[in-house]
Structure 1
Amino acid sequence: PDCDDNVNFGTVPQTVAFSFFAPGAAAARNWNKLKHLACWSIKQFNTTSNILSQLLTNVNDIRHAVLQNRAAIDFLLLAQGHGCQEFEGMCCMNLSDHSKSIHKQLSTLRERLNHITYGTSPLSDWLASLGLTGWV
């Protein structure tokens, strides 16, 4: 999306004045604010999604390193004739992998974002061709 990051809804007196003196302009202004908010929300989601994907990659790398360390410790203990039973908490290690679930949920959110659309009509297309896209 090509919207800016400044979301400004205006003040209550400004909104009331617009609504009272120019209801059509107020409706158009509110419509534009709503479109801007939708665009801003999509940008925020995309940023958040990228951050979560990078964090998930980091967690997977750490998980892999922990499992390698665990295998090395087990090997060294067995080489010295010790089993993990001699050390409390060393036999069971559960590192759950929720990466598939997280990727699936991010995919679901991306699909839902595709449901945010801006409808067009012949009138809005004609006004856009005249350069009047700010009002409709």
Structure 2
Amino acid sequence: MGVFPEILVEIDAGLEGRAALPGIDRLLSMAEEVLVTWIISRGEPVEVDAVEGHWLLGLHRQGCRATPGFSACRDICREIVFRRNIALLYPEEAPHAHRMMAMTVKHLALFVGGKLEQAGLGQFCRASHRMQALGAA
């Protein structure tokens, strides 16, 4: 089932209607757990800095340091925050935003799980090649 089996099973059960979809706060914490796992796997201490008011985005920034291929999940993290905000601010859009957030958290778990299992995954991203060429993190 991959690196994050509990997260994937819980999200899949909700998406398939076998259980309630995890709440938006639970989904956000799942995404944070994925990035914390990535940072710890690199032997780094986890920082508590928020970016644009969100710890998830701060974790992503930390996870990108010296790993240009990891920047490929920047939009995934931003999408998670965006869908959560939509669900909170627009009740009529909440069910759709909630479901999309769940799918996006699953995508993040699969991406990071793949990176943990196989070094080099994500190097296909054009942005990561530009970052490597510039020598930036």
Same fold (TM over 0.5): no
TM-score by length of 1: 0.28
Structure with bigger gyration radius = 1
